[in-house]
Structure 1
Amino acid sequence: AARLGLPGNPVAAVAATRDKSLLRERLEAAGIPSPPWWRLREGDDPAALSPKIRFPCVVKPLSLSGSRGVIRADDPDAFGLAVARVRRLLGRPEVAEECGASTDLLVEGYIPGREIAIEGLLEPDAAGTARLRVLAIFDKPDPLEGPFFEETIYVTPSRLTASEQRLAVGVAERAARALGLGRGPVHAELRLNERGAWPVDLAARSIGGLCARSLRFAPRQAGEEGAGISLEELLLRDAVGGGAATAGYARESAAAGVMMIPIPAPGILRSVSGVAAAESVPGITGLSLDAARGRRLVPLPEGAEYLGFLFARAGTPEAVEEALRRAHAALRFEIEAGAGEAG
């Protein structure tokens, strides 16, 4: 972008979003709420680190996404097992390539609390300071307490109080600036508890997978042309025209949500039933089944996929969540056990 004279973020800033230990280092240095953390390098003995840890802790690869390889450990024995398991995962050639061949791990204190995701756009103000324009705040109503952290339901608008939302957005904005990000999309994940808002992760990109289908944006002024654009179109307009090209758009008024359908067990997918029943649930607007019959399924923490995605819209976040849960309950997946277990 710099060579072409186009707006963008510094390479060093983006690099910090792709290395979880560097991200922690930058956030901690900026005084942003951070748990205690350590970088466990290749060959380091986890038993030597255990005495320094106040359990529970979380073991993570430095750069995988979607909670892949993320494991909670509640004691030294579980910590040693978690480190060994994640190292085995990173030893796979296809995973090593995705991770940049780094087998170092991030170990950090477990952050209790409710988890949310903020979808936003960074835009410089008149003084050149990056400001976070919120596109959506997603609640994650299913507890993410471990030992693995499989995400399922995202629902917007958030049911957090206005003050809690302001707190979370403020911390996310500070975190983005601390990394050196100045413009473009941001996907931030935070946990909120009695001690404040804590960044879990922050990426200089939009929400992943098919989840963006849950977001639609319309002009604030009735009668304007182009109502109902996608998140992708909004981001493209911002990229070529800056904030002025998207300032008139806001997320639609309806509540919306997506469910990433989790893989319940390892094995071979033999059949799927209940599709018509799931699609007929009031509020459900779409169902995308990604896993083909005969496919080997691997759940988290080794796996990197979902069975599919459910989408819903309704008048309230509660109704959206209920529709997603009812539709998921209607689906039946026949999985031949024992054929897809992680090694």
Structure 2
Amino acid sequence: SPGEAVGLPGAGTEAARLLRDKLALRRAAARRDVPQPAFTEATEPADVDALRARHGGRCVLKPANRQASLGVVLMDPGDDTAEAWRHTVAADEPRLRVHYADTARYLVEERLDGPEVSVEALVHEGVVGFLNVTAKQVLPGPYPVELGHTVPAPEDGPGGAAREALAHATAELVAAVGFSTGVLHAEWVLSGGRPHLIECAGRLPGDHIPDLVDLAYGGEGLLAGLLALLSGDGPRPPRPAAQGAAIRFLPTPAAPGAVVRSVSGVTDAEALDGVQRVAVALREGTGIGPVTNSWQRAGHVLATGTTPQEAARTAERAAAAVRFGLAAPAGEPR
């Protein structure tokens, strides 16, 4: 990489390559025995069926090089493999990524059950310093779109209880990919009480998690810490959170084919103590469709509280206050 060529701090070329390819990351993690689901590359629907047969008909099918849950399908026994394959191979985000020649590749893996969390870590020369665990909520059904995050994960919940195990697993992941300096956003499922790797990005997280970390920890946030690392300003040490912060994404009305007639309750949501921001993506005249990836959510609410639990409750109350009035599309019966 250009930075590596001139001696600047960074992830390292090989680590950056591995973190851009979910299949390559799986293989690197397996060499280090980082716990993760059973997996295989899928080049056709028959590969999906072969893994499903070994795991009770359940699996996860995903592209190896996409983000925001694009193309990810959770499959149960009886689900149509051909339909899931069509959804996955059609997934793309041409307006949201750099245009370069990348061959589409697909991954099918064992589907693990358990709470999902993410870890945000600032790494200096292969050593993890600041580390946060984020608890998350996921849309039920075949498309695991994230519905909310709480920072830090409450101590009385599975994410908080597994913090030490997650810190150890993150350190092993850093070693597995040879990551040097920068920020990692790793997603884990706590299956059988143990962290199992879902995927990892060598970049700042999305879904406003950097905002949540800034609000919860105060002082230097993820972005400022990353810039300090890349400037050669040494490790960023661990520190405790000062309060809780949470985001909840507004539920898209379950009425595919309808059109938004009105949006109400935004002022009420903004007036709740602790609410920091209310953003609505659906506008009057917007058509309603199914939510299959993160770009299709209806908006979000950010809130803080003296504890993570209080922040989460406030965000949920604020999200529930926002309502969408719907109408049938023009020319159809109302």
Distance in 1, Cα, partners of 2:111 & 2:199:
13
**Cα drift, residue 53 of structure 1:** 4.5
Percent identity between the two aligned chains: 27
Distance 1:57 1:295, change over 3 A: same
1:251–1:197 Cα change, 3 Å = same
Q: Are the counterparts in 2 of residues 189 and 201 from structure 1 also a CA contact under 8 Å?
A: yes
How far 1:181 sits from its partner (Å)?
A: 1.0
- 1:198 corresponds to which of 193, 196, 199: 196
Distance 1:101 1:7, change over 3 A: closer
Quick one: which of 69, 75, 78 aligns to 2:77? Answer: 75
Which of 222, 242, 250 is the aligned partner of 1:261? 250
Secondary structure of the residue that 1:67 maps to in structure 2? coil
> What whole-Å deviation, never above 9, does each CA across 1:36-76 have from its counterpart, x for those lacking one?
11111258664566544543111111122122221111125
The 3-state SS of whatever aligns with 1:2 is helix
1:90-129 alignment runs, 5 A limit:
90=92, 101-124=102-125
Kindly indicate whether the alpha-carbon contact (under 8 Å) linking 1:32 and 1:171 is maintained by their aligned counterparts in 2.
Answer: yes
Q: Are the equivalent residues in 2 in contact too, given 1:136–1:251 (CA < 8 A)?
A: no
Q: SS at 2:315's partner residue?
A: helix
Matches of 2:304 and 2:314 in 1, distance apart?
Answer: 9
The 2-side partners of 1:337 and 1:179 are apart by 51
CA contact (8 A) 1:216 1:251 kept: no
TM-score (norm 2): 0.84
Q: Measure the CA separation in 2 of the matches of 1:293 and 1:122.
A: 44
1:7 matched residue in structure 2: 9
> What is the deviation of 1:304?
2.4
Give the letter aligned to residue 173 of structure 2: A
2:185 pairs, out of 184, 187, 198, with 187
Residues 294-325 of structure 1: per-residue CA shift (max 9 Å, x gap): 44554432562432221111111221111111
SS where residue 243 of structure 1 aligns?
coil
Query: Any idea what the Cα deviations from partners look like across 1:156-186, whole Å, max 9, x if unmatched?
Result: 2222466511001111221122012111001
Is 1:232 aligned to 2:223, yes or no?
A: yes
- Match status 1:319 vs 2:319: no
Q: 1:23 to 1:269 in 2, by over 3 A?
A: farther
Aligned length: 323
- Secondary structure of the 1:271 match is strand
Q: How does 1:1-343 map to 2 (within 5 A)?
A: 1-41=3-43, 46-47=48-49, 50-75=52-77, 77-90=79-92, 101-124=102-125, 130-140=126-136, 142=137, 146-160=141-155, 164-216=162-214, 228-244=219-235, 246-247=236-237, 250=239, 252-265=241-254, 266-267=256-257, 268-296=259-287, 298-301=289-292, 304-336=295-327
SS at match of 2:15: helix
The two structures have a TM-score, normalised by structure 1, of 0.82
Shift of residue 230, structure 1, vs aligned partner: 4.1
For residue 65 of structure 1, give the secondary structure of its aligned residue in structure 2.
coil
Contact 1:139/1:157 (8 A) holds in 2: yes
Distance 1:260 1:98 in 2: 29
Unaligned runs of 5+ in 1: 125-129, 220-226
Per the TM alignment, residue 83 of structure 1 is displaced from its structure 2 partner at its CA by 1.4
